Structure 1
Amino acid sequence: MRLNTPHGSNALHIATRGRIRVAIVDDHPAILLGLSSMLSEDEMLEVVGTLRNGLELKRADFRDGADVFLLDLRMPGMSSVECIRLIQERWPSSHILLISSFEVDGEIMQALEAGASGFIGKNADQSEIVAAIRKVHTGAQRLPSVLARRIAEHNQRDALSRRELEVLRGVAKGLTSREIAARMGLSEYTVRNHVNSILSKLQVRDRTEAAVLAIRKGLVPPEE
């Protein structure tokens, strides 16, 4: 079933029982039309509405919402984070899948922290987008492997304190705890405690693994 929602309309239709109800929020009319047409070809999906931006989403008065909101990462009027919070407040059982032509880690991470369930690029083919919608509908998170890895690395970096990162730089240079302590003006005991904390946070067994991981994942510059 295809829904040709006029631009600016707030009306959304109730889906056929058993189908995944999808609402699309994107400020590009061609994208709205293309996604709506494409998703309507899948018998397990029901496009229940299309909205051009967060302001239209804010004015929407549909009662049942959608199982999955396909939400553009960048739109005028309201940010994706604001849209996510609005959806969570008004339709708390819905899941949110971000879609964008851009992969800006910081923006995606903010949206995920706000409550989005995943991300997919607009250049993905029909089967990938449908599979992503189905996955987030189950409550699972859906992220491209490369993006998931970058976010994991970012989280590891954020998990280390500024002092731990400084100690890690010394470890990556091959310095002993005594040498690191002398450079940082700390006791050797304190440095050892920092090293133990670093090993635990990075989930590695020893200093060598920590050094290799730190350089490979960019936690410290390779030239150091």
Structure 2
Amino acid sequence: MSSTKKIRILCVDDHPIVREGLASIIALQPDMELAGEAESGAEALHLLRALAIDIALVDLRLKDMSGHELTRQILAHESGRQVIVLTSYEGDADIQRAFAAGARGYVVKGTGRDELLAAIRTVHAGRRHIPGSVAEKIAEHLGSEKLTDRELQVLAEIAAGKRNKEVGAALGIAEDTVKMHVKNILEKLEVNDRTEAVTVALRRGILHL
């Protein structure tokens, strides 16, 4: 197969061993080639200005920016490029943010080489790739009310171990207002206390420490 017809891939991950593994897998595929690799969002964007890329494999956790933000920037630069998220994050909130940013596929690390290769070929053919496990995560909380930006700020302060008064001081709001936000957070996450709220938020990818 001519190299001009191969799917050109950019791997963006801050772990060298992950990039090496991806390079080895891609090298064995007659219809794919690794066009470049980057360990940060800034490096990826720099490479994209010089390389012709069909698919970017993007991790959600990078040194300088989130994979969600990098996805938005990649897709804003040039039409025709597509993004597949390849990450260890399995929470429904992370998944939904990735697709909202424009990703066309979502693959969880450790699911196997065949899943990744299928995702690359499917997305390159113009379709979405949503594995069954990922679809289940999305469906599980479909229709759930999302936390507001202020509620996310309050939750982050709670996760840092702060009490309501300390949260209020940190955010410049009254303690009674913090209590109202906490009440709303517990209701939206369907939990009984602050500790459980943090646990659920971390598991779903609503919050990252």
TM-score range for the pair, normalised by the shorter chain length: 0.5 to 0.7
Contact residue 72 and residue 98 of structure 1 kept, 8 A: yes
Partner of 1:36: 23
Q: Is 1:102 paired with 2:89?
A: yes
Deviation of 1:61 after TM superposition, in Å, equals 5.3
Residues 133-187 of structure 1: CA distance to partner in whole angstroms, max 9, x if unpaired?
001111211122122123134333359xxxxxxxxxxxxxxxxxxxxxxxxxxxx
Amino acid paired to 2:73: L
Partner of 1:141: 128
Q: TM-score, normalised to structure 2's length?
A: 0.64
Counterparts of 1:51-200 in structure 2, within 5 Å, are: 51-60=38-47, 62-158=49-145
Q: Which runs of 5+ in 1 are unaligned?
A: 1-14, 160-218
- Could you say if the C-alpha distance between residues 93 and 155 of structure 1 is closer, same or farther in structure 2, counting changes exceeding 3 Å? same
Q: Which runs of 5+ in 2 are unaligned?
A: 147-188, 192-209
Contact residue 65 and residue 91 of structure 1 kept, 8 A: no
**1 CA distance for matches of 2:41 and 2:101?**
15
Deviation of 1:66 after TM superposition, in Å, equals 1.0
Counterparts of 1:8-47 in structure 2, within 5 Å, are: 16-47=3-34
Deviation of 1:50 after TM superposition, in Å, equals 0.5
Amino acid paired to 1:107: D
- Could you say if the C-alpha distance between residues 143 and 59 of structure 1 is closer, same or farther in structure 2, counting changes exceeding 3 Å? same
**2 CA distance for matches of 1:61 and 1:130?**
22
Contact residue 10 and residue 34 of structure 2 kept, 8 A: yes
Deviation of 1:220 after TM superposition, in Å, equals 8.4
**2 CA distance for matches of 1:92 and 1:53?**
21
Amino acid paired to 1:27: D
Contact residue 8 and residue 35 of structure 2 kept, 8 A: yes
**1 CA distance for matches of 2:190 and 2:37?**
45
Partner of 1:50: 37
Runs of 4+ in 1 over 4 A off after TM superposition: none
Larger Rg: 1
Deviation of 1:42 after TM superposition, in Å, equals 0.4
**2 CA distance for matches of 1:97 and 1:53?**
16
Deviation of 1:91 after TM superposition, in Å, equals 2.5
- Could you say if the C-alpha distance between residues 61 and 70 of structure 1 is closer, same or farther in structure 2, counting changes exceeding 3 Å? closer
Deviation of 1:115 after TM superposition, in Å, equals 0.2
Deviation of 1:37 after TM superposition, in Å, equals 1.4
Q: TM-score, normalised to structure 1's length?
A: 0.60
Q: Specify the SS of the correspondent of 1:157.
A: coil
**2 CA distance for matches of 1:64 and 1:58?**
10
Amino acid paired to 1:45: M
- Could you say if the C-alpha distance between residues 156 and 61 of structure 1 is closer, same or farther in structure 2, counting changes exceeding 3 Å? closer
Amino acid paired to 1:108: I
**2 CA distance for matches of 1:122 and 1:146?**
12
Deviation of 1:92 after TM superposition, in Å, equals 2.1
